[in-house]
Amino acid sequence: MTFLKRFKTFCLAMLVATTTFTTWAGDGHDHGEATTAAGGPALPRFTAVSETFELVGVLNGKQLTLYLDRTADNSPVKAAKLELELGGVKVDVKPHGEGEFEATLSQELKPGDISVSATVIAGQETDLLAGDLDLHGDPHADEAAPGQIWKVYGAWSLGGLLALVLLTLALRRVRANRFSRAGGAA
């Protein structure tokens, strides 16, 4: 196998190795039109769990959305009353749907660990739930986005391939010069 054939094979292998191929989902696996890609960091959230209930809170600025489910089967708790404290401050919670509540905070919470306690009253059942809300600045804010990383890898790969092509051309020229000198002297 000549050097040129080996080089072409190597370039083809590099092209296949660095190319991402698109796949298409079959029937029943495409998740419909409503599916969207995650666009950014997840919102801060907390969980508070007991043997009976599970409370999940999602914080979006001053807006707090709460989801109350039964621990055993993850079904929403119907006709429940919820009392909530964040960092020792009572928060007015309003029911928004079956097992769903909303609250608007008077001011945005400061970064740090914030204790969460909730009292759940659902019919004859009463339970106290406790958890922590961990609010810190985004530690990965200075990192490049995933799409940016591949651009860097692509640029380096392209630069490497260009260097290989230039090296191959220079090597061929050197060999051609040696051959012509050797042939001319004989």
The model's pLDDT over 141-153, given as tens digits with 9 standing for 90+, comes to: 555 566 677 788 8
The reply to whether 119 and 61 lie within a common domain is yes
Is the per-residue pLDDT at 135 higher than 90?
A: no
Higher pLDDT residue, 19 or 66? 66
Same domain, residue pair 55 and 114: yes
As a whole number of angstroms, the distance between CA 94 and CA 103 comes to: 6
Q: What is the pLDDT of residue 28?
A: 61
Out of 135, 156, 177, a domain closes at: 135
Distance CA 155, CA 158 (A): 5
Q: In this predicted model, which residue has the larger pLDDT, 119 or 26?
A: 119
Residue 131 lies in a domain: yes
Does the residue 30 lie in any domain? no
Q: In this structure, are 66 and 97 located in the same domain?
A: yes
Range of the domain at 81: 45-135
Q: How far apart, in Å, are the Cα atoms of 8 and each of 36, 82, 85, 134?
A: 40, 69, 67, 54
pTM for this predicted structure:
0.55
Tell whether 20 is covered by a domain.
Answer: no
Give the separation between CA 91 and CA 85, rounded to whole angstroms: 6
